[in-house]
Amino acid sequence: MSTDNTKSSTQKDMDVGDPMAGQSLEGLARRYRELARQVVGIGFVSDGTLLQRTTLCGRPGCACRAQPPQRHGPYWQWTRKVAGKTVGKRLNAAEAALYQEWIANGHRLEAIVAEMRAISRQAIDLRLARARSAEILNTDSDKRT
C-alpha cells in the first residue's frame, strides 16, 4: 500500500538531531551491546599522527642544498604528544601502513566509546525512572497493608 510512505517520512523527521532520542531502554541496551561487540573486533590502537618528512643534511655539495633542492626522503614519521612534548619515531613504508591501521582503529574505538557514553546517559535516566516508579508502586502496596 502507498499510505505507508507518509508515515515513515514523519518518523524520519523525529529522528533528526539525536538518533537515540525517544528510544526505549531495551532499544538503547540493544544498541549498547552491539557497540560492545564491535569493540571486541578492533585490533591494536595507536594515538598520534603519521606524517611524511623530507630533510636537509649537512654534507657539503649535497643535492639537498642544490637549486632546486632535492631534499632527502620522504620519510614516514609517527609523532605523538607526551607530557606536552612531541616525540617521534621514523618508520619504513610497511611500518607506516601498520600505524595507519592502528591509528584508524584508535579513532574508531573513540567514536564507539563516545556513542556508548551518549547511550548510557539516556539509558541511565530511563533506568532510574523505572526503579523509582517501581519504588512508588512498592510503597503504595506497603501503605495498603
Binding footprint of Zn ion on the chain (CB under 5 A): 57, 62, 64
3-state SS assignment for residue 89: strand
Report, in Å, the least distance between residue 64 CB and Zn ion.
3
Which of 30, 90 has the CB closer to Zn ion? 90
Classify 90 as helix, strand or coil: strand
What minimum distance in Å lies between the beta carbon of 58 and Zn ion?
8
Helical H segments across the chain, by residue range: 4-15, 25-40, 93-144
Cα distance between residue 18 and residue 119, in whole Å: 10
Closer Cβ to Zn ion, 56 or 136, answer by number: 56
- What is the distance of C-alpha 20 from the center of its chain? 17
* CA-derived radius of gyration, the chain: 27
Measured from the CB atom, the residue of 51 and 63 that comes closer to Zn ion is 63
C-alpha to C-alpha distance for 22 and 122, rounded to whole angstroms: 9
> Least distance to Zn ion from the beta carbon of 53, Å?
14
Q: How far is the CB of 66 from Zn ion (least distance, A)?
A: 9
Nearer to Zn ion, 57 or 114 (CB): 57
